Amino acid sequence: MSEQKGGIFSFYFKSNLLVRILIGLIVGAIFGIVFQNASQAIEFLQPFGDLFIRLLKMIMVPVIVCTLIVGTSSISPAQLGKVGVKIIIFYLLTSLFAIIIGLFVGTVIAPGEGMMLENIAGTAKEAKAPTLVQILLDIVPTNPFGSVAKGEVLPTICFCVFFGIALAFCRDSKDEKVKNSADVVFSFFEGMSEVMFKVVGWVMQYAPIGVFALIFIVFSKSGADAFGPLLSVTISVYIGLLLQIVLVYCVICLIYKLSPIKFLKKVRPPMVTAFVTRSSGATIPVSMETAEKDMGVPRSIFGFTIPVGATINMDGTTIYLGVCAIFIANIVGVPLNFSQQLTVVLTAVLASIGTAGVPGAGAIMLLMVLESVGLKVEAGSVVAIAYGMILGIDAILDMGRTSMNVVGDMVGAVIVAKSENELDMEAWNR
């Protein structure tokens, strides 16, 4: 009897989150189109959508702090030698190319252009345009705790990276007292990170309801015209991912005299696994097995580069951030200028260091990027509605960007092994 009572809830929580979010999106869009300008329904559902936005904002800063500190402090100073420097530079450069590609595709295709939502939620929020000098100065916080409390993105990232690196050096100290104290601090943040992942999981369980509410409101007020921009942003992201493979990964393989076709064939298992699981962290075992058996990368290299890549290399996510930032800016009616696009580049590259390798983490990072250019996601605002539209299709975008993240990790492992003359060419040529 108790099983029957809990049947509905049991089915909900055990069913695939991706499916539930897509159902929320589709049902919300259908009902919104059917019930045009349903003021009472909108008034009823608005708090559910606002609650989802508030939950996301609640976890944004803790997730950033915990993942960044744990990610950077996990890299031991001993490993930050020749191989470490190579792979980190490689990851940062490919992430830089990725965000540039994302912004380029977003600018050319211009998803969301022409769909103005000012009439839906009042006046669009004006985006601030800080100068380049101010952007660079604002990266360094005068009061890191104040920056964390205020939700200031770039200063928080900067402090957490410094803190994480310092913690890594303390953990490697020969002074037993310093080492033990640092290990305690690391264990604390590692535990906090696990706790925040659990909270993120709970928040994402509410996502289908929040997405349904937000999408219903959009389609009820805008009608079927709202579908076009969602399709255009999806196409834009996947075009960006394809360009990253062709223009960056394949070119890098050619530079190091490796067959890009062979690489793409060998990388399919981790790529497909990442696409299905939407988690670069969960794909690590498959990636390592492929690197060793199919690609000929030695354990000493892939054992370091792939786990680090799962933490700091998020090429797919940065493409997604670039496209979606332009989409939301266009749909709000405040196109990003050069200074703001530069801010997106800096924020996305730095944020890629701490993007957790778990499903949906990119949506949190998008929130962070929007905040960095002055597009505040506040309950009831036009930016929140546009952000909700992205969340409605985030699962579809997440599959593609996670696959790209993993492919980028594999490229890094192969290239570093080749540059160190440790790549088993016999295994590679099989």
Q: What is the pLDDT of residue 2?
A: 43
What angle is formed at CA 10 by the lines to CA 394 and CA 30, rounded to 5 degrees? 45
Q: What is the pLDDT of residues 343-401, one digit of tens each?
A: 887 777 776 655 554 555 667 777 778 877 777 777 667 777 778 778 777 767 887 88
Greater pLDDT, 188 or 123? 188
**Cβ pair 352, 313 in contact under 8 A:** yes
- The Cβ-side half-sphere exposure at 212, using a 13 Å CA radius, reads 17
Measure the CA–CA gap between 362 and 422, rounded to whole angstroms: 34
List, in order of start, the domains of the chain with CATH numbers.
18-429 (1.10.3860.10)
Q: Which of 140-154, 218-232, 297-311 has the lowest mean pLDDT?
A: 218-232
Q: Which of 238-242, 415-419, 425-429 has the lowest mean pLDDT?
A: 425-429
**pLDDT above 80 (res 256):** yes
Q: What is the pLDDT of residue 239?
A: 95
**pLDDT above 70 (res 100):** yes
Token pair, residue 236, equals: 């834009």
Token pair, residue 19, equals: 């499916």
Token pair, residue 72, equals: 């950077």
Measure the CA–CA gap between 342 and 339, rounded to whole angstroms: 5
Q: What is the pLDDT of residue 120?
A: 43
**Cβ pair 353, 411 in contact under 8 A:** no
Q: What is the pLDDT of residue 128?
A: 45
Greater pLDDT, 421 or 230? 421
Task: Determine the straight-line distance between the first and last CA of the chain, rounded to whole angstroms.
Answer: 58
Q: Which of 178-182, 212-216, 303-307, 413-417 has the lowest mean pLDDT?
A: 303-307
Instruction: Using CB atoms within 10 Å of the CB of residue 362, give its burial: 0 to 12 exposed, 13 to 18 middle, 19+ buried.
Output: buried
Q: What is the pLDDT of residue 122?
A: 38
**Mean pLDDT for the stretch of residues 121-150:** 64
List Cα–Cα distances, 295 to 3, 264, 273, 370, in angstroms: 49, 11, 17, 39
Predicted TM-score (pTM) of this structure: 0.65
Q: What is the pLDDT of residue 293?
A: 83
